[in-house]
Amino acid sequence: MTREKGLEARARIALEELLALPVDRRDGRLEELVAGDAALEDRVRRLLAATTDTGDFLETPRIARRPADWIGEQVAGCTVLEVLGEGGMGTVFKVQQASPDRLAALKILRTPFASAQELARFDREAGAMGRLRHPGIARVYGTGVLEGDGGGRPYSLMEFIEGDPLDVHAARRRLAVPEILELVARLCDAVDHAHESGIVHRDLKPANVIVDPTGRPVVLDFGIARLLDEPEDEGRAALRTEDGSMIGTRVYMAPEQARGRRDAIGPHTDVYALGVILFELLTSRRPLDLVGLGAAEFADELESRPPRRLSEDRRDLRGDVETIVTKALAKEPHRRYERAGALAADLRRHLANEPIQARRQTATYRLGRFVRRHRVISTAFAVVTLTAAAAVYFAVRASRAEVSAASSAERAEHGMRTIFKLVVRAGTALSELNEKEYDRVTVELQRSAIPSQLHDQVLSILRPVEATSRIADDLIAQPIAEALGEVMPEAFSEQDIELLYLLGSLFTLLGKEATASGLFEQAILQADGVPGYSEESRLLLEYEYAKCLDDRRALDLLKEMRPRVERVHGTDSWAYIAHQSQVVQLLESTNAYEEAFPLCEETLAESERVLGARHVLSASLRNLLGELHWRLGRHTEAVGILEDLRLHLVPGADDDQLGLVLSNLSQIYAELDEQDAALAAALEDLYATQRIRGSAHPELLIAKVNLGQQLAAPHPEAARRLFEEVFAVESNGSSRLATIQGEAMLGWVNLEAERDDADAAEVERLAGRGAELLAQAYGDGNPIAAEGAARAVVAMTNAGLLGAAAAFGLSWQARLAGLGAQLHSLALVTGRAQLADGLLDEARDSFERARDMRAELRIPTTSPESFLGETLVRLGDLEAGLPLVEGTLDALQAQGNRRYPEALQFLIEHHESRGDAERARVLRARRDS
Amino acid sequence: MGTIEDRFRGALERTTRGDAQSAAELLRVVYDELRGLAAARLAVTPPGQTVQATELVHEAYIRLVGSADPGWAGRGHFFGAAARAIRNVMVDRYRAARAAKRGGDRRREEMDSHIVGDGGTDLDILDVDEALGAFAEVDPRAARVVELRFFAGLTGEETAEALGCSPETVKRDWAYAKRWLRDRLARDDGADSP
């Protein structure tokens, strides 16, 4: 302590001597004075650095009234109800205005205004703000001045917004990324409205944005900062010193603002603040940590230090979101989004899977985006896209070939000829598009990455082409595959691999999985030889490859990839959890429910720990868990999990996930015979899916099929229309679409057959086609194929096509013989058609087979026995037949089986025809009861 | 006990004569007076508006001392007591305001703060009080200079008179004290404290 004191005393002496010297001579003298005493030097330097020249340090102690003391008092024609907050600029109260009678927020600024001129300006500016009308901007009802000593205090009376500040809202609701993006986009909408009127907020921060109970963000205090920040006369220069708001808002302050460059402030200043807000909401961290700095130092650091990258905290946000945030946080104002509206537009483009403006325009990026957005589009459209991509590919190859050997140039020329041919074909395809699609294609082509001269050429050829013939995608796909072989380079570069990847993705889009998988295989093979091709990129290639494999092979590939994913990304990563969730999904789709369940539980726990419960992966795993419970027969658990998830997903923001959950729920409720709940879920699913998908998207088609199935009984006409809509979508050869359309066709024929004026030919055609589509999609070894065939037989039978139904049933039993006992339903419905058609011997065989198969599977054999009994009776074997029909009657009734009334009617007619009036009467009484 | 004026006059006289016990009584009287004045003034002050602490001290001087000049020693004792008293009034009000808030983690800017202007930032009265306490350990005279100049609002000359030293000494003490406190408060800000 003594030594400390001695040091301090010496430091003070040195300080006073140095302060008396001109600044440039201080350093030299300091060294002499301290004579190598490092502790002394440090202390003196600290004291020297602690400049007190700024403002009024230790000049004026002030005492403020506690805002809480104002409750119940009258201010500005209002009764003070509550203190909402006290900030640097003043105090905000919740008040009850007397006339008009309403709740309002009263903000009283801390800074007094001295001159009348200033007050007039305040009124003028506040008037401009008062004219802002937007649901996302708190209305300014009026302004005024509270007289007091030391000058009048301006106040403004604003709309009172119930709710939480933005950050509190986000934390409390644990918003998922898409919800945060949409919330910020809506915030941008409001801010942009003011930008349109030339008004800049200048003090955007989470505390200035309230999210109301409907989830709408409302901006407070528009333009108030400007009122305080731009004094017109010299006397106001002290404003900022008294205004304590700087500390609170530094975090959101743009560099030009920190520099005090008032002329440089504009809408882009708000864009910066919005960027910080977005960063903070997504990561709970700030892009820059600049604390404990003086004003000048702070401005220097803010201008020079690059912000933290978003992906440091959230790997899953690499890509668009990071690009958007980075652009909003650009140091130079002109590099940012010009206005909040442009930021909102990019956020929404990202949410809609469209290319964002901020992204540097690389070919891969644009086409990749394009492909993703149009996963299912008309064939013709896909052909045009593919052609364009091929054109790019060959153009790139050709230009490279030019600078290499002459023989290569020849090959390149061939490549160009191929392009030409392809373009003509594409033109033919294009002519089949309707006007709207044509416009879309040309717009997309103009926006795509095709070199401009080439794209003009493409368009000039495309426009005048007139053709009527239908172009099959093979006409395009085949030549590309061949031409690829010709121009395939000897040594691959990273870019070649990227192009192969791109082409592969486009073939996947066309449903040409075989060609695509060849391209991916090639790319993966060649990637090994490319120095510097990262393991991470290679994994991405393999994921694309997996997409064009059947589920089992994809599952094997993913299982093989797991250790490498773990090595590259670690287990606590988005990538690893996403990988494991893919595995769960594939296990589920290959019916390996028992194996999938524990892995799903484990991965869900990891996902919630690492990514949080609100993360889209966690939600999707939770949905899978519910689905697995259902598949394993635990309906109650499934409903519990899925209903809970449904409550936590936000319509409009989580539609993607919500659609899946609702579709599962709808099917589960249907199985539980809760028709109303099933119907409601299916309808909601349809809305959710339609909000985010085009009319031809598989998700939407699935939703329509589900809804159609729910509606079949109560509203057959509506259901028929839904089914028709689904199979009217042009098929693009993808197996996914095939299953959906097959389902729709079978649903349709089932309804059509029930009609009095059923179109028999159409029923036969679509029943056959539907069964075929399902069998092709699932494979002949899948019980679903047998189920599809059975449904086709039923529809044909109901439509009166007895012979055709019987023949169809027999030929499909032969085709699907590998399924063994699982053909029991097909055998049964075939027997029914045969029985109705009078083919009694064949019917007897069918029913016996159905009975034996069910016995083998330990399923009740009641209805085959009843049918068999009827057949035997008709064959004249009353002794064997009657007991079978009569003996199964009670069981059928108990099951609510559709065979029951039929069997009853048969017995009544049988007894009547044999003159046994008494037994017929008893049975009729039973029928009519 | 008599009126507050009587109590004040008695305490001031005894203190001026050198009765150390009376200094505490003087402080109590001035504290009560200032607290009452602060409450009265604040009651008519709009929310967000502030009252300058130094104005209160001068008002108290007029009310308690009146027109009768107590001499340089009396003035010195009054302002010494008043500076300490107003500092205590500010700290106590601040603490009371903070205690009234629920959930102690509210952000500082939301509190009822007795602000001390500082080139673009607000200082917290508790921080200033605490730093000044630490400074009194290092240099008691310079710390008194801060109290008299800052809290009581005395000029350099008046401070010199109250402390019985030269204006030059006060000026140097004041310059040193401001740097010392600035350095200390910047470190308390948390960024680079050891």
What would the mean pLDDT of A807-836 be, rounded to a whole number?
92
A-contacting residues of B 6-35, CB under 8 Å? none
In sequence order, the 6+-apart residues with CB closer than 8 A to the CB of A686 are A700, A703, A704, A707
Query: Given the structure tokens 């699609």, which residue do they identify?
Result: A437
Comparing A391 with A172, the larger pLDDT belongs to A172
What would the mean pLDDT of A788-799 be, rounded to a whole number?
92
Closest CA to B54 of B121, B129, B178, B147: B147
Does B191 sit within 8 Å of A291, measured CB to CB?
Answer: yes
Q: Which residue of A lies nearest to B114 if distances are taken between CA atoms?
A: A63
DSSP state of A531: T
A-contacting residues of B 54-93, CB under 8 Å? 54, 56, 86, 89-90, 93
8 A C-beta contact, residue A328 and residue A278: yes
**Does the pLDDT at position A871 exceed 90?**
yes
b/e A779-804 (16+ beta carbons within 10 angstroms → b): eeebeebbbbbbbbbbbbbbbebbeb
Q: How many CB atoms lie within 10 A of CB A26?
A: 17
Q: Which residue of B lies nearest to A86 if distances are taken between CA atoms?
A: B110
Closest CA to A199 of A242, A260, A140: A140
pLDDT digits (tens, 9 = 90+) for A880-923: 999 999 999 988 888 788 889 999 999 999 999 988 888 899 99
The least confident of A433-447, A831-845, A913-927 is A433-447
**Does the pLDDT at position B173 exceed 70?**
yes
Does B181 sit within 8 Å of A153, measured CB to CB?
Answer: no
Which residues on adjacent β-strands are paired with residue A218? A210
Does A146 sit within 8 Å of B89, measured CB to CB?
Answer: no
> Quick one: pLDDT band at residue A616, thresholds 50, 70, 90?
confident
**Does the pLDDT at position A862 exceed 70?**
yes
**Does the pLDDT at position A681 exceed 60?**
yes
Contacts of A65 in chain B (CB under 8 A): 42-43, 45-47, 49, 51, 112
Closest CA to A348 of A185, A215, A193, A217: A185
What would the mean pLDDT of B78-82 be, rounded to a whole number?
89
Compute the mean pLDDT over every residue in chain A, rounded to the nearest whole number: 76
8 A C-beta contact, residue A23 and residue A49: no
The pLDDT value recorded for residue A385 is: 52
Does A68 sit within 8 Å of B112, measured CB to CB?
Answer: yes
The two most distant CA atoms of chain A are separated, in Å, by 136
pLDDT digits (tens, 9 = 90+) for B24-63: 888 888 888 888 888 888 777 765 567 788 888 888 888 8
pLDDT digits (tens, 9 = 90+) for A385-402: 555 555 555 544 444 444
Could you tell me how many CB contacts below 8 A there are between chain A and chain B?
A: 182
The pLDDT value recorded for residue A844 is: 95
Comparing A493 with A195, the larger pLDDT belongs to A195
Residue ranges of the alpha helices (H) in A261-359?
A: 267-283, 295-304, 310-313, 320-328, 340-351
Residue ranges of the alpha helices (H) in B47-70?
A: 53-64
> Quick one: pLDDT band at residue A813, thresholds 50, 70, 90?
very high
pLDDT digits (tens, 9 = 90+) for A149-171: 455 677 888 889 888 889 888 88
User: Which among A12, A148, A246 has the least Cβ separation from residue B121?
Assistant: A246
What A111-117 contacts at long range (C-beta under 8 Å, 24+ apart), as own/partner pairs, is A111/A153, A111/A154, A111/A228, A111/A239, A111/A242, A111/A243, A112/A148, A112/A150, A112/A151, A112/A152, A112/A153, A112/B49, A113/A145, A113/A151, A113/A152, A113/A153, A113/A154, A114/A151, A114/A235, A114/A236, A115/A233, A115/A235, A117/A232, A117/A233
**Does the pLDDT at position A565 exceed 80?**
yes
The pLDDT value recorded for residue A234 is: 32
Alpha carbon dihedral A208, A213, A216, A218, in 10-degree steps, equals -30
Q: Minimal Cα–Cα distance from A129 to chain B, Å?
A: 22
The pLDDT value recorded for residue A463 is: 35
The pLDDT value recorded for residue A494 is: 66
Instruction: Tell me, yes or no, if B148 comes closer than 8 A to chain A by beta carbon.
Output: no
Residue ranges of the alpha helices (H) in A448-573?
A: 452-462, 473-487, 494-509, 513-527, 535-547, 551-569
**Does the pLDDT at position A477 exceed 70?**
no
8 A C-beta contact, residue A75 and residue A94: no
The pLDDT value recorded for residue A125 is: 66
Report the alpha-carbon distance of residue A621 to residue A598 in Å, rounded: 12
Which residues on adjacent β-strands are paired with residue A253? none
The least confident of A367-376, A612-621, B36-45 is A367-376
Q: Minimal Cα–Cα distance from A330 to chain B, Å?
A: 26
Contacts of A49 in chain B (CB under 8 A): 183
**Does the pLDDT at position A777 exceed 50?**
yes
For residue A186, give the 3-state DSSP assignment.
helix
Asked, as a colleague might, if the bond just before A100 is cis with ω within 30 of 0, I would say yes
> Quick one: pLDDT band at residue A492, thresholds 50, 70, 90?
low
At B113, list the tokens. Answer: 């703060």
Report the alpha-carbon distance of residue A473 to residue A453 in Å, rounded: 26
Query: Phi first, then psi: what are they for B161, rounded to 5°?
Result: -60, -45
> Quick one: pLDDT band at residue A284, thresholds 50, 70, 90?
confident
Report the alpha-carbon distance of residue A266 to residue A255 in Å, rounded: 12
Q: How many CB atoms lie within 10 A of CB A629?
A: 22
What would the mean pLDDT of A402-431 be, rounded to a whole number?
46
Which residues on adjacent β-strands are paired with residue A137? A219
Closest CA to A649 of A625, A675, A621, A616: A616
Comparing B20 with A429, the larger pLDDT belongs to B20
The pLDDT value recorded for residue A430 is: 44
DSSP state of A145: E
Going by DSSP bridges, is the β-strand pair A209-211/A217-219 parallel, antiparallel, or unpaired?
antiparallel
Does B119 sit within 8 Å of A66, measured CB to CB?
Answer: no
**Does the pLDDT at position A849 exceed 80?**
yes
Query: Given the structure tokens 């065989």, which residue do they identify?
Result: A845
Q: Which residue of A lies nearest to B98 if distances are taken between CA atoms?
A: A66
pLDDT digits (tens, 9 = 90+) for A338-347: 899 989 988 9
Does A50 sit within 8 Å of B48, measured CB to CB?
Answer: no
Does A295 sit within 8 Å of B47, measured CB to CB?
Answer: no
Contacts of B138 in chain A (CB under 8 A): 5, 8
Residue A500: HSE in the Cβ half-sphere, 13 Å Cα cutoff: 28
Query: Phi first, then psi: what are they for A575, rounded to 5°?
Result: -60, -45
Report the alpha-carbon distance of residue B192 to residue B172 in Å, rounded: 28
> Quick one: pLDDT band at residue A789, thresholds 50, 70, 90?
very high
Helix (H) or strand (E) holding A79: strand A78-86
The pLDDT value recorded for residue A376 is: 30
Report the alpha-carbon distance of residue A95 to residue A83 in Å, rounded: 9
8 A C-beta contact, residue A619 and residue A603: no
User: Which among A52, A60, A66 has the least Cβ separation from residue B117?
Assistant: A60
**Does the pLDDT at position A725 exceed 50?**
yes
Helix (H) or strand (E) holding B123: strand B121-123
**Does the pLDDT at position A865 exceed 90?**
yes
**Does the pLDDT at position A271 exceed 90?**
yes
Out of A333-342, A453-462, A540-549, B90-99, give the one with best mean pLDDT. A333-342
Residue A378: HSE in the Cβ half-sphere, 13 Å Cα cutoff: 18
Query: Given the structure tokens 């041919």, which residue do they identify?
Result: A421
Contacts of A39 in chain B (CB under 8 A): none
The pLDDT value recorded for residue A696 is: 63
> Quick one: pLDDT band at residue A276, thresholds 50, 70, 90?
very high
Q: pLDDT > 90: what percent of chain A?
A: 20
At A419, list the tokens. Answer: 């392009």
The pLDDT value recorded for residue A227 is: 55
Q: Which residue of A lies nearest to B35 if distances are taken between CA atoms?
A: A63
At A752, list the tokens. Answer: 């059509």
Interface probe, candidates A58, A69, A203, A259, chain B, greatest B C-beta count within 10 A: A58
The radius of gyration computed from the CA coordinates of chain B, to the nearest angstrom, equals 17
The pLDDT value recorded for residue A356 is: 59
The pLDDT value recorded for residue A471 is: 33
At B22, list the tokens. Answer: 């009376």
Report the alpha-carbon distance of residue A811 to residue A826 in Å, rounded: 11
Contacts of B100 in chain A (CB under 8 A): 66, 68
Closest CA to A94 of A81, A75, A77, A85: A81
User: Which among B48, B100, B186 has the least Cβ separation from residue A292?
Assistant: B186
What would the mean pLDDT of A458-468 be, rounded to a whole number?
32
Contacts of A293 in chain B (CB under 8 A): 191
At B183, list the tokens. Answer: 């350095």
The pLDDT value recorded for residue A724 is: 86
The least confident of A124-128, A742-746, A891-895, B181-185 is A124-128
- From the number of C-beta atoms within 10 Å of its C-beta (0-12, 13-18, 19+), residue A162 rates as exposed
The pLDDT value recorded for residue B148 is: 92
Encode A613-640 in three state secondary structure.
CCCHHHHHHHHHHHHHHHHCCCHHHHHH
Query: Given the structure tokens 């325009």, which residue do they identify?
Result: A361
8 A C-beta contact, residue A63 and residue B50: yes
Give the DSSP letter string of A709-720. Answer: HHHTTT-HHHHH
Query: Given the structure tokens 């009080």, which residue do they identify?
Result: B129
Comparing A249 with A785, the larger pLDDT belongs to A785
Report the alpha-carbon distance of residue A116 to residue A151 in Å, rounded: 10
Does B115 sit within 8 Å of A292, measured CB to CB?
Answer: no
Contacts of A88 in chain B (CB under 8 A): 109, 122
Dihedral sign (CA A51, A56, A60, A66): negative
User: Which among B114, B117, B139 has the least Cβ separation from residue A63?
Assistant: B114
| Region label for A448, one of left (φ > 0), alpha (ψ between -120 and 50) or beta (otherwise) | beta
The pLDDT value recorded for residue A457 is: 42
**Does the pLDDT at position A487 exceed 80?**
no
Report the alpha-carbon distance of residue A765 to residue A804 in Å, rounded: 11
Contacts of B90 in chain A (CB under 8 A): 61, 63
Compute the mean pLDDT over every residue in chain B, rounded to the nearest whole number: 77
The pLDDT value recorded for residue A885 is: 93
Q: Minimal Cα–Cα distance from B45 to chain A, Å?
A: 7
Interface probe, candidates A52, A62, A149, A297, chain B, greatest B C-beta count within 10 A: A62
**Does the pLDDT at position A466 exceed 50?**
no
**Does the pLDDT at position B92 exceed 90?**
no
Query: Phi first, then psi: what are they for A220, rounded to 5°?
Result: -100, 165
The pLDDT value recorded for residue A294 is: 66
pLDDT digits (tens, 9 = 90+) for A703-715: 788 778 877 877 7
In sequence order, the 6+-apart residues with CB closer than 8 A to the CB of A331 are A255, A302, A303
For residue A289, give the 3-state DSSP assignment.
coil
Contacts of A69 in chain B (CB under 8 A): 42-43
At A367, list the tokens. Answer: 């086409």
> Quick one: pLDDT band at residue B128, thresholds 50, 70, 90?
confident
DSSP state of B149: I
8 A C-beta contact, residue A155 and residue A108: yes
In sequence order, the 6+-apart residues with CB closer than 8 A to the CB of A345 are A357
Interface probe, candidates A4, A44, A63, chain B, greatest B C-beta count within 10 A: A63
What would the mean pLDDT of A797-819 be, rounded to a whole number?
92
Does A112 sit within 8 Å of B114, measured CB to CB?
Answer: no
The pLDDT value recorded for residue A420 is: 46
**Does the pLDDT at position A925 exceed 60?**
yes
Contacts of B183 in chain A (CB under 8 A): 46-47, 49-50
> Quick one: pLDDT band at residue A52, thresholds 50, 70, 90?
low
Q: Which residue of A lies nearest to B88 if distances are taken between CA atoms?
A: A63
What would the mean pLDDT of A468-485 be, rounded to a whole number?
42
